[in-house]
Chains A and B, each alone.
Chain A
Amino acid sequence: MSTPDVDVVVVGAGPAGSCAAIVAARAGLSVVLLERGPFPGSKNMYGGVVYPRILDGLIPNWWEEAPIQRWVTRRSTMLLTDTQALTVDFRSEAWGQPPYNGATAFRPDWDHWLASHAEAAGAQLLTDTTVVGLLRDAGGAVTGVRTDRPDGDLTARVVIACDGVNSFLAKEAGLYEHTDAKHFTLGVKETLALPKEVIDERFAVRERHGVDIEILGGTGKVNGGGFLYTGLDTLAVGVVLKLPKLAAQQQRPEQIIAGLKQHPAIAPLVQGAELKEYSAHLIPEAGLTMMPKMTMPGMLVAGDAAALCLAAGIWLEGVNFAMASGMYAAEAAVEAVQKGDTSATGLAGYQRRLSDTFVLKDHRKLRRAPELVLSDRVQHLYPTMVANVVERMFHVDNPNPKPGVRRILDQERRKAGVRRRDLLRDGWTGFRSFG
């Protein structure tokens, strides 16, 4: 067999790909990082919260240079009906100091920054280059990639596929047993411009502190959820919609965002803002249910390509899982290249690392959460029931005396059409997931 062009080809310069390239290049391997866009991040639309603590070991004091918008010091979970809002709001000043917790960031900036570290480590970044297929040997092992450029074949000892949610490489390799629209949601986002001072005042934050609001309800008859994040002088407001429901309801996503922005609890926050950008992206939300096989001879799959996105209602995390999986994939690739064994056995360290860390531990623990959160009862019955309970609890209806909470709960449960055994079952599922 001829000598491969490079040790490692990383496909996709997103968080997973760049972290993989950093680790592999620092280990002394020759690395090519391929990106289809004109620069890393140019194809991304994510405008949410990044939890970068996984970078502590990779880029010490990353917070001193990372291109963040605001550090999230307020975390709110909002439950909406058409006319009601119940918000659990938490604030911590500790999250506004090193080593911080989460931060809002624009992925074009974030990915560009991470890729610059990969280049500094010695990886060769090639942009405007789309990988269109895999090169394989007679035994089926991956031996490189084919790009859309003339003379576009690039051979490698290991290919790390970080090519995003619709990973054509993982599909071509047969690593996805099946893909189903019900495993995906559509994330749709508007970026709205407001002066920083206005955002600070409306969201009660100062300096670089920011707010992360996760919303249950507010998406009409389409199952999903909403979000509102503060950038420095922008807001990211959007919805995440279950695909089959969206198709069945024949609604356009922008109509649903418009509805969310008109909600009495949201409208004052976004009033007067100027629309700067509208974008949409698929999200692999089904967790373990949809994860592909992540290792095959000569290739590893990481990030969204491996469906490593945690969508568990109150936890919506993807970038940290992507960065971690990219790092672990590269560590396994380094081991395999150094041993001269890039077979599935030689690359098994990847799966072991995923299993031993939060990447798969969190997914296992929360494996029932995505289905529960997107279920019809949680989406359409419980918000009304809970909001009505709270409204009656705090409604002063003198001269009538205050009713007991248990009585209100039972009345509202029946009014909402929720069966007691379903409530208990969902409660138990939620407890097992989140407890």
Chain B
Amino acid sequence: MSIVACLKWVSHPGEPHDERFAGMSPADQSALEFALRQAALLGTGVTAITVGPSGADKVLRDALACGATRAIRIEAPTTAAGTDVATAIADHIADAEWVWCGDYSLDRGAGSVPAFIAAHLGAEQALGVIHVDLEADGVRATRRLDGGRRELLGVRSPAVVSVEGATARLRRAGLQSLRTAADTVIEVVPATTPIHRAEFMVRPYRPRARELPAPAGDSPLDRLRLLTDAAAASAARGEMVTLEPADAAARIVQVLTDWGYLPHG
């Protein structure tokens, strides 16, 4: 039974050019913690893996100090493309049964790498998980859906699970293991396929500001309600349609354009 924790060495959003502030994203910390808990439950070890330059050894040493049994760094530039990162990881963990990832990293936040890894491995995937119950024969995971809904998943190996940052707090490393980890040799391996720099930065979704007409209510309270849609909360503009994937994507783009979230043309 092999358990892998995928970690990314990320810069601090407030100090993007200072490596002293760089480290593991909260989501990756949660993923590592679940990997360690699962390893304890199943009586096995955890392999921590990262893709990056030598500075990324820091997150691997942190993982070793917390209890990971093996650490692998795939040599790559800092801003490697997510698809290439996933390919490189998947090539090195082909026999992994459980792969734990953070749902997205602090620096780019696309959350795509876990899905790509699952695709490469042909594994089940449970992405964006907010609650995890570890069991001897699998994992019960709770996913966040739109509209406050939840999805309960029974996951069996081989699987990739990505967790949100608040799902678990990474254990504090013991002093002796911290000392040992500081001197442990990290396995550095080349990527099996070329790793390219990311061509663009993916950022968390931020709707652009829209120009709205002034509300026409008689009283300030009416105008406030109109402005905030408070009175129309029950009249949501959503609609349920059943379309082929390509048509569904085109419809979503059209609606977002109509609503002002995407530019016309």
Contact = CB atoms under 8 A, between A and B. Distances in A.
A167 interface: no
B119 interface: no
B20 A149 contact: no
B40 to A, nearest CB: 15
A150 B174 contact: yes
* Interface residues of B, dominant DSSP: helix
Interface in A1-43: 32, 38-39, 42
A38 B175 CA distance: 15
Interface in B1-42: 20-21, 23
Contact of B175 (A39, A42, A112, A150): A150
Interface string B162-191: 000000000011111111001100000000
Interface string A73-109: 0000000000000000000000000000000000010
Interface stretch (A151-159, A185-193, A304-312, A333-341): A151-159
A149 B182 contact: no
A134 B52 CA distance: 40
Contacts of A154: 175
B20 A42 contact: yes
Contacts of B174: 149-152
B184 to A, nearest CB: 12
Contacts of A147: 175
Contacts of A152: 174-175
A153 B182 CA distance: 17
Contacts of B179: 32, 124, 126
Given A152-B174, A153-B175, A39 B20 contact: yes
A154 B176 CA distance: 8
Contacts of A42: 20
Contacts of A124: 179, 182-183
A124 B173 CA distance: 16
Nearest to B182: A124
A234 to B, nearest CB: 16
Interface in B32-62: none
Nearest to A150: B174
A129 interface: yes
Contacts of A129: 175, 178
Interface in B184-226: none
Given A149-B172, A153-B175, A126 B182 contact: yes
Contacts of B177: 151
A153 B176 CA distance: 9
Contacts of A150: 172-175
19 contacts: A32-B179, A38-B20, A38-B21, A38-B23, A39-B20, A39-B21, A108-B20, A112-B20, A124-B179, A124-B182, A126-B182, A149-B175, A149-B178, A150-B173, A150-B175, A151-B174, A151-B177, A152-B174, A154-B175
Interface of A: 32, 38-39, 42, 108, 112, 124, 126, 129, 147, 149-154
